Amino acid sequence: MSLVLPRVAAPAVSAFVLALAASVAPAASQEAPAAPTLLDEIVVTSTGRPEPRSRITGTVQVIEGERITRSTARSVTDLLAENAVGFFSEWTAAQTALNIRGASTEGQGRDFRSQVLVLVNGRRAGTANISKLSPADVDRIEIVRGPASVIYGSQAMGGVINIILKNGRTATGNVVDVQGGSWGLLQGRASAGGEIRGTDYYIGIAGGRRDSYHSGAGGGLMANTQYERFGATGTVGRQIDDVNRIDLTIRTDGIYNAGFRGSAWNTINRDERTNSSLDLVYTGKATEALRWTLHGYLVGDRDIFRWAAPIQRNATTGRPQPGTRIDNNRRALDIMGLRFQPVFNLWAGNELLLGFDAERSWLRSDRYLETMALGPRTPQVAPLDYNQTDSVMGFYAENSQRLFDERLILRAGIRHTRGSTAFDPTPNLANQATGSRPYHATTYTVGGTVRATDHLSFRAGLSTGFRAPTATELAGNYTVLSGSQIFGNPNIRPETSRQIEVGATLAINGWSLDAALFQNVIANRIVTRLRPGSTTTSDYVNNPGDVTVRGVELQAAVDLLTAFQVRANGWHWSAFGNGAYNFHMRDAGAPASANTDKVERMYQYQASIGTRVGQRAGVAIPWTFSVIGILRGPMWYNTEENLIIPQGEPNREYIHRKPPFWVWNARLEGEIRQGMTAYLAVNNIFNVNQHPIFLALDRQPFIGRSDLGNTGGIGNLGNSMPGREFVVGLQARF
């Protein structure tokens, strides 16, 4: 099964969007900036059906449409990083990995190894690499912080990111937005939504490009950091009668010609990553006591890597050696799924959600490689991710009971998942242990909320999660380029997580606060371990040491004029922020030789704070100015970069503490005509030269090994994020 949607080249789409923008004449007033939505007023769908935030026993962070619209983020990764959702590695414009409460994703989506689940409209997005996804047609994003496998199954160990798309009911009217800026930035989007004869619709199209950027203070050109984007979404919905409705969504999204410098500062590598899907949802109601949702979907996820590394590091001597002239890898993930969720109101205050999930997926990989030393058309090495087929079914139930005039809500849920992972024949792979291997897992959740006053609520909950083993982990048998061998293990168990959380929500006089204290324990992690007495042969095993993370999280929003009872007189002023501090983050399974047992690739603390101020009335040009600061806290990392010893690191296995840093962005917008808004944004105002993960930055003194770089004389060595960037734009609503 393969789902393939038409592809349009990103530059052509950009030209189309710009032409459409030029032809638009505004005809209606732009929507005024809204006051911050109080957390207690937010309705979320993280439990499988819409519910007020105050009834949920876990922490749910919501990034709403207003924040998305006013952001200069060019990918979902950028958007989540702006809101301090977790740690993001951001290897390239097309690839990232993230960490929420100690659980992490595999940035390339390799073998379903992610411990954080990424969804689109409530079903699996494909791979967990969110950098390929654009925020252009996103209505809001819900982030479940903590395990959620009862509703969502495998991979929901540390959190769930649910990307909810716009439709004809949530995005009415027509919008055209064009942007230009530093380093050849040119992008635009256009959308139309409304209703025709009882059928609502939404059509959105977006495209863009940017050249390679310059790093911050003291740096230069980061060659091979360019990219092109294209995405399109179409939805049609029909309210059949008062209780029955059908919705169809078809979309494609992706990033093309994206440079990938990687840890060797490579100016050759290119990525192409796309994601397409079709969703059909039927919601109905039989009686006041029974309603349901039936959701069928198809997903096609593609990763095409055109990589090469002419210079590589010899694993034994540490010296440069001839590497690869060509290393092309194409991975295709196809998914077909069905979800049925009936909801019963058994008696007063009671609600029972039942669920059945069935999904089948196919992962196929094809790789062609030529080495510098052996010349063209050398034998292909086995793809690291193999061919596999997965089948899974899940049965679950969650019951909630409202008591004492709905001031006390108790809830509990359980899920049993049964699946099988098949190791399929893979080209050019000797000694294949093909065949299907079953697995099963049972997860549960229990908790409650108490509304102590009309403004203050408390919550407590216990939840669990799991991740099923992959075909590689169960039956792998391959030799990597360095000559090392890795073998699968048919006896490994699923990874698991168990979390305890308590929290509180306060909403009063323009203030909205949400605080959580949690402990998440991740057990049975599937890792590779050297065989006793060997330096080249490893096996997949369950790590006996747990990852334990304890932390506090805070979300806040305030309408300052309301909070301090100041007469508005056409003004608006709000502030917002969220952050986390993981005061205990220990990896009990870290190697005994390691210099720390801190959890790697996870922030110890992080924050996002901002304010928005402006005038809606009483001035010729209504305006809004906003500024946001992003603290990317310290994290620990055994880098894959080749650093100078001892100037860069004491030894190759040294675990570094990367210090925290702030990045500040600002935006000024004004309604220059009715329905037309112009804006100017400045990102990285202070021209900070940093990177979320890389240590060898583009600045002096340079701590990387220049002899192991693959720049080909183009661009600077090292990796830094973009320096100060200017963006100007024009948006029309009509």
Q: How confident is the model at residue 379 (pLDDT cuts 50, 70, 90)?
A: low
Query: With the C-alpha atoms ordered 37, 188, 164, 520, is the resulting torsion angle positive or negative?
Result: negative
Cβ atoms of 470 and 428 closer than 8 Å? no
Rounded Cα distance, 400 and 410, in Å: 6
Instruction: Determine the average pLDDT of the residues in 21-45.
Output: 44
179-217 residue pLDDT tens: 999 999 999 999 999 999 989 999 999 999 999 999 999
Instruction: Determine the average pLDDT of the residues in 332-338.
Output: 96
Number of neighbours of residue 279 by Cβ within 10 angstroms: 21
Residue 29: predicted pLDDT: 33
Residue 366: predicted pLDDT: 85
- Phi/psi-derived region of residue 206, left when phi > 0, alpha when psi is between -120 and 50, beta in every other case: beta
Instruction: Check whether 31 has a pLDDT greater than 60.
Output: no
Mean pLDDT of the chain: 89
The HSE-up count of residue 10 (CA atoms within 13 Å, CB side) is: 25
- What's phi and psi for 18, nearest 5 deg? -65, -40
**Residue matched to tokens 């793809």:** 383
Alpha helix ranges (H) inside 452-543: 471-475
In this structure, what token pair is assigned to residue 28?
């209606």
Q: What CATH number should be reported for the domain whose range is 10-733?
A: 2.40.170.20
Residue 149: predicted pLDDT: 93
Q: Residue 675: helix, strand or coil by DSSP?
A: coil
Residue 378: predicted pLDDT: 57
CA–CA distance from 46 to each of 55, 145, 263 (Å)? Answer: 11, 10, 37
Query: With the C-alpha atoms ordered 52, 58, 59, 65, is the resulting torsion angle positive or negative?
Result: negative
Residue 20: predicted pLDDT: 36
Based on the number of CB atoms within 10 Å of its own CB, is 617 exposed (0-12), middle (13-18) or buried (19 or more)? exposed
Residue 712: predicted pLDDT: 80
**Residue matched to tokens 């690739």:** 601
Which amino acid, residue 636?
W
Cβ atoms of 222 and 213 closer than 8 Å? yes
Instruction: Determine the average pLDDT of the residues in 298-322.
Output: 90
Instruction: Check whether 583 has a pLDDT greater than 80.
Output: yes
Cβ atoms of 145 and 58 closer than 8 Å? yes
647-685 residue pLDDT tens: 999 999 999 999 999 999 999 999 999 999 999 999 999
Rounded Cα distance, 274 and 292, in Å: 32
